[in-house]
Amino acid sequence: MLFFSIDGRVFETLPRLCVGVVLAEGVRGAGPHPGVDGMLDAAVRDAEARLDGAHASDDPRVQPYRAAFHELGMSPSRYPSSNIALLRRIAKGKGLWRVNPVVDLGNAISIKYGLPLGAHALEEGEVLELRFSRPGDVFVALGEGEPDPTLAPGELVYAVGELVHTRRWTWRQSENGKVDPAATRVAFPIDGFIDENEAEVRAACEELAEVLRNEFGARAEVFLADARSPRV
């Protein structure tokens, strides 16, 4: 069953884009998950050591995303991708907050591999799309109650129907599709680039899927979408 797609126009700007996607079903996210807590603590410690005395934006692993944001006409400093935002917080000595075990797992994998990783709660039959925004789209920022009027057509977004889940590719998350402990069906896209960090994307997907199975009792499958196979 189709649950994820990338619009062909995206590849006109980012021809080497690939997105690894883990689809987890039957997720049991409530309750304590000390294994995930340990993973996140270890990832933060490793990132602190890697970034000691350096800026997050200097990490070689994030350079492809900075370049891609420039290609998309967005400032990677003003609109950092999610992986840069997490690493930036750690580099500043602010540590990392806890959200819930499923989201914390995604953050741990993102930090470990230096990759942007999203988590989107999906109902059966919904399709998560990576596409450019269009008239009629709606974005409600995380923690807000009203649509953001600054969303304009032509911005790269993750969306389900007309509901935008993340603005400016992986920059800002929405109330729509956010993962809470009650979510049982979750799609995790991990963005990367062929011939650059595709191997890391695949490895991150496999590790994520394994932990989802072992820690959360989920059925987890791994897919890869690119210009040759944009729908999974």
Residue 106 identity (one-letter amino acid): G
Q: What is the mean pLDDT of residues 66-79?
A: 96
Beta bridge partners of 231: 5
How confident is the model over 157-209, as pLDDT tens digits?
A: 999 999 999 999 999 999 999 999 999 999 999 999 999 999 999 999 999 99
Segment 95-122 shows an average pLDDT of 96
Q: How many CA atoms lie within 13 A of 94 on its CB side?
A: 11
Which CATH code for domain 4-225? 3.50.40.10
Q: Which amino acid is at 20?
A: G
Q: State the sign of the Cα–Cα–Cα–Cα dihedral 122, 124, 130, 132.
A: negative
pLDDT tens string 149-164: 999 999 999 999 999 9
Mean pLDDT of the chain: 96
**Residue 1 pLDDT greater than 90, yes or no:** no
d(CA 198, CA 19): 9
